Structure formats: C-alpha cells, structure tokens
Amino acid sequence: MKKLFYFTFLLFACETENYETGQGQYSLMQADLCELTINSQQQGTSFVTDDGDAYTAKAPYTATWIATADTTYRTLIYYNKVDNSQAEVIKASAVPTLIPREHWRLKDLQQDPLNIESAWLSKSGKYLNLGLLVKTGRVDDKELPHSVGLAQDTLFIHPNGHSTAYYRLLHSQNDVPEYYTNRHFVSILLPTEQRPDTIRLQIQTYNGPLERIFVP
C-alpha cells in the first residue's frame, strides 16, 4: 500500500447519478472504504471493508489509477453483494493515505483552510477517516492540485503511562481558485508501534481552528 507523508490530488466536481429503482444494478449497491488487493496483472481481485467483511471480486476490476501490481490500495468501493464471500465491484476510486510525520519534516507545507464533513475511526482502529470539503476551481479548463499532509507536533506521555498524539492536518491551496466545494475522502494510517491512546487532531477550517479527539 502506498503510504505518503503528504499527497497532491485533483478534485473533480461531484456528479449526481439517477439510479434505477427496484432490483436493478444499483438498487442494492453498498459503498465502503476498503483495502483492495491487486494481482500481478494490476487487477483488483478481492477487498476487505473497514468493518472486516472480506469479498472476492466477481470479475477482476481494472482502472487507470491502478499503477502497481501485487500490492494493496486504500479505496472507496461501490459494490453489490453476490453472496457472503463474493461481490460485484461497480466502481472504485483510490483514497489517499497519510501517515503522521514530525512537523519539521513538513515545514514547507502550509495550513490553508478547508472544511471537514465527517471523521471516524475504522472498526479495526487501523485508520482514522476524514471526509474533507475543499474549495477548488479550474484554470484554463484544467483542475489544479492541492497538497495535504499530516504533521505530528508532539507525542505526550502522561504520568500514568498513557500517550496523547497531537496531529495537525496541513493543506496547501496552491493558488487554486475557490469557485466551488468538492468532497474528498482521506485516510490516516495509525501507527502500529507506539500507538497513541488518544489522538488530538487540529484542522484549520474556514470558521477557524477545529480540534477533534479520538480514542483508537
């Protein structure tokens, strides 16, 4: 799985699709954040949801963003369950994954505002997921990239031995116009070693600083 200290991404306008009612292709469709397993032919062959449900893909899934073979991608997958072990993948998109880094390693990345729509821990506690609302626009009919990173300002050890990690979400608007707002999902991969007992995440929003507290 690609684990980035920071990432640059393009945001595309949200589209509303009219799905048919009844027992059509989309009537029972589910959407989950998942880990998608890629085979040697750069095809998605199976996935595990954040709730721990594992499925084999009814047909191998291909996409232009799958660039590496024999790996695992963090993804948002729309799918129909065939049975308890198999699913039909309708659509999948890559979900950028951040890992906390010492703040001085990311000193060149700004803290431009964005808004947060949702934040939750995966059932396994492996990921902290964020639904971000980012203002964006087009220049010369092209989407321009934003950059996002995750700084760890400190790891505080309390007298009782418990630890609190202070994370700060960094965001560089990169002079992208703020014409409209797009939703974008990001996952934070939490440490497996020296795992904090509490996470305090600071985000600079358009309404001022916001802090959210999580207990993995």
The predicted-structure confidence for 4-17, as pLDDT tens digits, reads as follows 444 444 433 233 33
Which class is 30-94 in CATH? mainly beta
Where along the chain do the CATH 2.40.50.500 domains lie?
30-94
Encoded tokens for 11: 């945001």
Residue 139 pLDDT exceeds 80: no
Residue identified by tokens 């960094």 is 170
* Structure token digits, residue 125: 């506690």
Three-state SS string over 139-202 comes to ECCEECCEEEEEEEEEEEECCCCCEEEEEEEEEECCCCCCCEEEEEEEEEECCCCCCCCEEEEE
131-163 CB burial, b ≥16 within 10 A, e <16: ebebbbeeeeeebbebbbbbbbeeeeeeeeeee
Write the CB contacts of 31 (distance below 8 Å, at least 6 apart in sequence): 76, 77, 78, 79
> According to the per-residue pLDDT averaged within each range, which of 5-19, 105-119, 198-212 is highest?
198-212
Position 19 scores a pLDDT of: 38
Rounded to the nearest integer, the mean pLDDT of the chain is: 86
Confidence check: pLDDT of 84 > 80:
yes
Of 155, 153, 160, whose CA–CA distance to 196 is shortest?
155
The ranges of the chain annotated as CATH 2.60.40.2370 are 97-214
pLDDT tens digits, residue range 89-98?
999 999 999 9
d(CA 138, CA 105): 30
On whether the CB atoms of residues 126 and 110 are closer than 8 A, the answer is: no
Amino acid at 100: P
Q: Could you tell me the pTM of the whole model?
A: 0.84
Beta bridge partners of 32: 77
Fold of the 97-214 domain: Immunoglobulin-like (2.60.40)
Percent of the chain residues topping a pLDDT of 90: 68
